[in-house]
Amino acid sequence: MKPSFFLVLLLFTTSLGAQSYRDSLRTVWNDPSRADTSRLNAIDELSDYLTDTDPDSAIYYSNLQFDFAEVRGLKEYRAKAIENCAEVNDEKGELSKAIEQFQEAHDLYEEVGKTREMAKTLRSIGLVYWTLGDYTVSIDYYV
């Protein structure tokens, strides 16, 4: 009896911790007194966090991030939002859409000189082509 009680307690507290984390990110996002970049980092993290567990919410928050960044002319954060959507679409099996979005994110990262992020999106495109079985194209994104 005791082990099952502790297991339930552990699962409950873990769930509360995850909810608390999501709530704290939402709090930062919804606080207009915070710097725009702090708010964008919070919503980016929230979207990324939800990619595997709640893809529809991840897309929702990525779209909010994109719109907010677009109004403020912050290309890097627009790219991050698009990249988050691409990751969700990759997970959902919408591979051609994911490739387009990874490429769009790559192009924005290139415009702002974010070489590490450019490399990451190229790697992601290569992995999608690998999933599709197009190994020749896939390898081109790694070289």
pLDDT of residue 17: 53
Token pair, residue 5, equals 């009680």
Q: What is the pLDDT of residue 18?
A: 66
Q: What's residue 20's pLDDT?
A: 86
**Integer Cα distance of 60 and 16 in angstroms:** 23
Least Cα distance to 40 among 76, 70, 77 occurs for 77
Q: What are phi and psi of 31, to 5 degrees?
A: -100, 100
pLDDT at 142: 77
Please tell me the predicted confidence (pLDDT) of residue 13: 47
pLDDT tens digits for 48-106? 999 999 999 999 999 999 999 999 999 999 999 999 999 999 999 999 999 999 999 99
In this prediction, residue 1 has a pLDDT band, given cuts at 50, 70 and 90, of very low
- Tell which wins on pLDDT, 10 or 90: 90
How far is residue 79's CA from residue 116's CA, in Å, rounded to a whole number? 13
pLDDT over 70 at 9, yes or no: no
* CB contact at 8 A, 89 and 96: no
Mean pLDDT of the region 133-138: 95
Nearest CA to 125 out of 86, 91, 88, 92 is that of: 86
- 19 falls in which pLDDT band (50, 70, 90)? confident
Nearest-5° angle of CA 94, CA 95, CA 96?
105
Tell me what pLDDT residue 66 has: 98
Q: pLDDT tens for residues 101-125?
A: 999 999 999 999 999 999 999 999 9
